[in-house]
C-alpha cells in the first residue's frame, strides 16, 4: 500500500489472505476491460462468494460524504478546520483532506458554512498538476474563532470518529473472529521451545478471547507468548486516529502499538489499478494488525484511566483501550506498584461482562467494549497473589514449566547446531548437575544463552567450536552469579 493513498478493497483482500496478488491482478484486468467495481470482478472470477465479499465490506468503515454522516458534531469539525488553516496554513481542499482524512465533499460543505459565517474567504486558485483548486484563508473573524477553538482544545490532526462508530467497529472486529486453528498456532510457536501440551491449553483461550494466567519459573517463554499470538492473526482491524466523546477528543492511534497492515501488493498491480479500485474507505481509520500492548512493574491504576493533558486540553486513551481487538500482556504480575487484588478489582467486571467504563473530567462516564486477550504472566505462585475467589474469575490458568532433562538435551543440541558448535561428552550432564546443585531449575532460555556465550568465546579466542565443561562454566557464571567455578560433586 503506497503512502498517503486511501485504503482500498484490493488492499484489504490481500491483507486478510483472501486472495493472492496474482488473483487480484486478474480481477484488475477484468475490471479494466469490463468496468464496474473491483468486488464485482472478484466475485465473477470465483475468488470470493458474494456472501464472503459482503462480510468483508461490512467490517470496513464506509466513507462519509456529508458532515452529518461523519457522526461528529458540525462545530467540532468546523473548529478543527479553522485550527488547521491557522496553525498549518492549509488553503486547499487536498491539503485539508490530507490532514483531516475527510472526504473533500465534507470539507466543501464545511467551507461553504464557514464562508457564510464570514470565517473564511476565497483567495483565487492554485494549480496542482492538471487540476486547479480554490484557495481559502481565514478572515479576521475566522482567526478569532480559530483562537477560541485552540483555547478549548489544541488537538490538530485527523478528524475524530464518533463514540458510537468506535463501539460498533470494535464489536465487528472481535478477537474471537479469528478462529485460529491448531495448525496455525503450532506454526506460530515454531522455533520456540514450549511444553508439549501448551498449545492444547492455550488455543481455547485465544479462540474465546478470554483472560489467561501464565505462571511458572522465569526463562520459559511466558513473555514471548503475547507477541507470538498476535503474529498469528490475519484479520485487518481498523483503529481510529481519534474519538469524539461529548465534545472532547480522545487520541487513540499510537504508532508504537498500532502497526499498519502491509498488503504486499505488487507495484505493477497498484499502478495499473489505481484508478480502477473504486471501493475506498474512511481514512479516519487506520488499517492495522491486532496490537500487542505490554505493561510490567510500572503499571498503576491511574494508567488505566483516560489521560488528560491540561495544556493541550485533549485526552489520551489508556493502554488497555489501545489494546482493544488485540493482546494485553501484564508481565511480572504481582510486582506492579498496584497490588494484584486492586488490579483485578479494576478489571473483574470488564473481563466478565466484556464492557469497560471510562470517565471524562466532567464526570461523564461512557462505555467501550472490552475485547482483548488479557494475559497475566508471573513467576510467583498464583495462590500467593490473590485469593481463590479471584483466581476463579480468570478462566484459563496455564503453567509454563521448565523442560525435563530429556527435553533440555534436545533443545540444547538444536541450539548448538544452529551456532555450528559441537558438545564435548558429558558436558550436558555437567551443566544439569551444576544448575541443580546451585538450586536453579532447568529453563528453556538457558541452552540458547549458553550456546551464544560459547560461540562468542570460541570466536574471540580462536578456539575450536566446541562446548567443553570450562566453556560451559563461563556461560553458567554469566547467568547466575551465585554459581562457583568448580564442579559441585
Looking at the structure, do residues 215 and 314 belong to the same domain, yes or no?
yes
Tell me the H-state helices in 121-176.
140-152, 163-172
Checking DSSP bridges between strand 365-369 and strand 307-309, what pairing results, if any? Answer: unpaired
Q: Given 106, 131, 159, which residue is the final one in a domain?
A: 159
Q: Given 132, 159, 186, which residue is the final one in a domain?
A: 159
pLDDT at residue 45, as a whole number:
94
Among 389, 379, 378, 296, smallest CA distance to 344 is for 389
Structural domain harbouring 412: 405-479
Give the predicted TM-score (pTM) of the model.
Answer: 0.84
Interacting residues of 27 by C-beta distance below 8 A, sequence separation 6+:
10, 19, 38, 41, 42, 45, 47
Looking at the structure, do residues 348 and 234 belong to the same domain, yes or no?
yes
As a whole number of angstroms, the distance between CA 451 and CA 11 comes to: 42
Interacting residues of 486 by C-beta distance below 8 A, sequence separation 6+:
none
Among 203, 372, 233, smallest CA distance to 295 is for 372
Q: Which residue has the cell 456472501?
A: 51
pLDDT at residue 276, as a whole number:
35
Looking at the structure, do residues 225 and 368 belong to the same domain, yes or no?
yes
> Does residue 473 contact residue 485 with C-beta atoms inside 8 Å?
yes
pLDDT at residue 3, as a whole number:
40
DSSP-based three-state secondary structure for 365: strand
Looking at the structure, do residues 330 and 203 belong to the same domain, yes or no?
yes
Residue stretches of the chain with pLDDT short of 70: 1-7, 261-280, 484-489
pLDDT at residue 338, as a whole number:
87
pLDDT at residue 162, as a whole number:
98
Tell me the H-state helices in 250-335.
267-273, 319-322
| Degrees, nearest 5: CA angle 223-226-228 | 105
As a whole number of angstroms, the distance between CA 486 and CA 470 comes to: 9
As a whole number of angstroms, the distance between CA 217 and CA 444 comes to: 10
| Degrees, nearest 5: CA angle 370-294-157 | 70
Q: Which residue has the cell 502497526?
A: 259
Count of domains observed in the chain: 3
Q: Given 351, 366, 399, which residue is the final one in a domain?
A: 399
> Does residue 295 contact residue 347 with C-beta atoms inside 8 Å?
no
End-to-end CA distance of the chain: 62
DSSP 398: E
Question: Cα dihedral angle (477, 480, 486, 488), rounded to 10 degrees?
Answer: -160
Among 109, 235, 106, 236, smallest CA distance to 158 is for 106
pLDDT at residue 279, as a whole number:
54
Looking at the structure, do residues 90 and 38 belong to the same domain, yes or no?
no
Looking at the structure, do residues 348 and 202 belong to the same domain, yes or no?
yes
Question: Cα dihedral angle (456, 462, 466, 467), rounded to 10 degrees?
Answer: -40
Question: Cα dihedral angle (429, 430, 434, 437), rounded to 10 degrees?
Answer: 60
Looking at the structure, do residues 410 and 360 belong to the same domain, yes or no?
no
pLDDT at residue 464, as a whole number:
95
Give the CATH number, domain containing residue 197. Answer: 3.40.50.300
Residue 342 has a CB neighbour count (10 Å cut-off) of: 12
Looking at the structure, do residues 29 and 106 belong to the same domain, yes or no?
no
pLDDT at residue 229, as a whole number:
85
**Within a domain: 60:** no
All cell numbers assigned to 300: 498503576
Q: How far is CA 330 from the centre of its chain?
A: 15
Amino acid at each position: 500500500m503506497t503512502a498517503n493513498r486511501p485504503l482500498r478493497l484490493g488492499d484489504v483482500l490481500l491483507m486478510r489472505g483472501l486472495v493472492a496478488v496474482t488473483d487480484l491482478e486478474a480481477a484488475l484486468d477484468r475490471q479494466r476491460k469490463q468496468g464496474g467495481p473491483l468486488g464485482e470482478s472478484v466475485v465473477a472470477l470465483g475468488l470470493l462468494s458474494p456472501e464472503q465479499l459482503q462480510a468483508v465490506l461490512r467490517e470496513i468503515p464506509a466513507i462519509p460524504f456529508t458532515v452529518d454522516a461523519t457522526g461528529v458534531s458540525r462545530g467540532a469539525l468546523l473548529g478543527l478546520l479553522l485550527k488547521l488553516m491557522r496553525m498549518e496554513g492549509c488553503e486547499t481542499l487536498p491539503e485539508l483532506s490530507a490532514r483531516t482524512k475527510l472526504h473533500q465533499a465534507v470539507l466543501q460543505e464545511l467551507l461553504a458554512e464557514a464562508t457564510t459565517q464570514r470565517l473564511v474567504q476565497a483567495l483565487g486558485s492554485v494549480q496542482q498538476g492538471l487540476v486547479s483548486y480554490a484557495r481559502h484563508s481565514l478572515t479576521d473573524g475566522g482567526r478569532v474563532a480559530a483562537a477560541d477553538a485552540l483555547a478549548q482544545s489544541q488537538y490538530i490532526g485527523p478528524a475524530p470518529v464518533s463514540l458510537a462508530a468506535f463501539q460498533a467497529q470494535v464489536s465487528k472486529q472481535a478477537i474471537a473472529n479469528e478462529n485460529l486453528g491448531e495448525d496455525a498456532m503450532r506454526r506460530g510457536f515454531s522455533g520456540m521451545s514450549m511444553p508439549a501440551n501448551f498449545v492444547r491449553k492455550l488455543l481455547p483461550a485465544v479462540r474465546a478471547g478470554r483472560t489467561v494466567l501464565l505462571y511458572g519459573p522465569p526463562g520459559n517463554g511466558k513473555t514471548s507468548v503475547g507477541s507470538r499470538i498476535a503474529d498469528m492473526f490475519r484479520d485487518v482491524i481498523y483503529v481510529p486516529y481519534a474519538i469524539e466523546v461529548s465534545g472532547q477528543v480522545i487520541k487513540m492511534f499510537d504508532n508504537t502499538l498500532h502497526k499498519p497492515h502491509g498488503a504486499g501488493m505488487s507495484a505493477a498491480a497498484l499502478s495499473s489499478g489505481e484508478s480502477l479500485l473504486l471501493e475506498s474507505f474512511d481514512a479516519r481509520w487506520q488499517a492495522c494488525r491486532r496490537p500487542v500492548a505490554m505493561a510490567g512493574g510500572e503499571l498503576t491504576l491511574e494508567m488505566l484511566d483516560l489521560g488528560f493533558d491540561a495544556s493541550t486540553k485533549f485526552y489520551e486513551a489508556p493502554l488497555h483501550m489501545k489494546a482493544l481487538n488485540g493482546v494485553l500482556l501484564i508481565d511480572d504480575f504481582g510486582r506492579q506498584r498496584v497490588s494484584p487484588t486492586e488490579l483485578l478489582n479494576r478489571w473483574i467486571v470488564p473481563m466478565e461482562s466484556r464492557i469497560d467504563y471510562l470517565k471524562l473530567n466532567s464526570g461523564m462516564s461512557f462505555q467501550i467494549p472490552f475485547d482483548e486477550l488479557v494475559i497475566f504472566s508471573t513467576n510467583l505462585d498464583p495462590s500467593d497473589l490473590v485469593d481463590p475467589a479471584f483466581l476463579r474469575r480468570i478462566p484459563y490458568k496455564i503453567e509454563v514449566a521448565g523442560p525435563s532433562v530429556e527435553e533440555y538435551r534436545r533443545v540444547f543440541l538444536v541450539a548448538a547446531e544452529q551456532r555450528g558448535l559441537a558438545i564435548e561428552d558429558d558436558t550436558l550432564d555437567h551443566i544439569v548437575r551444576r544448575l541443580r546443585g546451585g538450586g536453579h531449575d532447568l529453563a528453556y532460555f538457558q541452552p540458547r544463552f549458553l550456546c551464544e556465550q560459547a560461540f562468542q568465546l570460541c570466536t574471540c579466542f580462536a578456539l575450536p567450536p566446541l562446548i567443553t565443561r570450562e566453556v560451559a562454566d563461563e556461560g553458567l557464571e554469566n547467568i547466575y552469579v551465585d554459581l562457583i567455578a568448580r564442579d559441585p560433586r
